[in-house]
Amino acid sequence: MDLADFNRIWAPVYGHPAWLVRKGHGSFLTLEFGTPELQTREPDVSSLASSERVRALAARRLVTVTGSWHLWIYCCHWSITLNGEELAWSESPDDAITLATRGIDGQKLLSVERGANPQSWVFGFDLGGELKTRPYGDDPSVEQWFLYERDSGNVLAARADGLISYGPGTLRLEDATWHSLSTTGGTGSGPR
């Protein structure tokens, strides 16, 4: 994948404010962009082989709100800075992470670029916020982040080894085609 393709995928996201920025399981982060939409999963009668807890959860109706784009910061170290000052990183206490996510909530995404090394990323926001990611270092094939496109169903993924994949969200990660990101075709920045 070249930089022009990468920028084409991100271009519609640029200029949209991040919303519902929050910490998920462990140190995962999620950010929504674009028009909100309710997603409803109807109750399901789960297999008897499932645990009682799984059957109880599946029997409930689940309603969530998602954006046109959902960014999931996955298995990586990350830090959130505001005007150059670090607010929190992936190992910070939960209350510090909550405050840091509030710091970028509402800020418009302006750019997604490689960081200081080819395996790191910098997400730049309009009010001085930055979200930086870097690999844990123990497994180069682990995904650092995913960008889910609601309308197309496609997912852009970045691994710890710097490779990128883009394709249907129904495709298993082990079946995805991974590409290096060549430096031709643009800067990685959106509108300023």
pLDDT at 58: 87
pLDDT at 191: 39
Lowest mean pLDDT among 4-18, 121-135, 170-184: 170-184
Average pLDDT over residues 133-147: 91
Residue 186 lies in a domain: no
pLDDT at 192: 29
Average pLDDT over residues 6-15: 97
Closest residue by Cα to residue 11 from 112, 131, 148, 145 = 112
* Percent of the residues in the chain that have a pLDDT greater than 70, as a whole number: 93
- With 70 as the cut, is the pLDDT of residue 107 above it? yes
- With 90 as the cut, is the pLDDT of residue 36 above it? yes
* Percent of the residues in the chain that have a pLDDT greater than 90, as a whole number: 74
Closest residue by Cα to residue 57 from 45, 40, 48, 39 = 45
Average pLDDT over residues 155-183: 90
Residue 182 lies in a domain: no
Residue 127 lies in a domain: yes
> Could you tell me the residue range of the domain that residue 118 belongs to?
3-175
Residue 190 lies in a domain: no
pLDDT at 184: 53
pLDDT at 105: 98
Residue 65 lies in a domain: yes
pTM passes above 0.85:
yes
Residue 34 lies in a domain: yes
Q: How many domains does the chain have?
A: 1
Average pLDDT over residues 15-27: 96
Residue 180 lies in a domain: no
Between 126 and 51, the more confident residue is 126
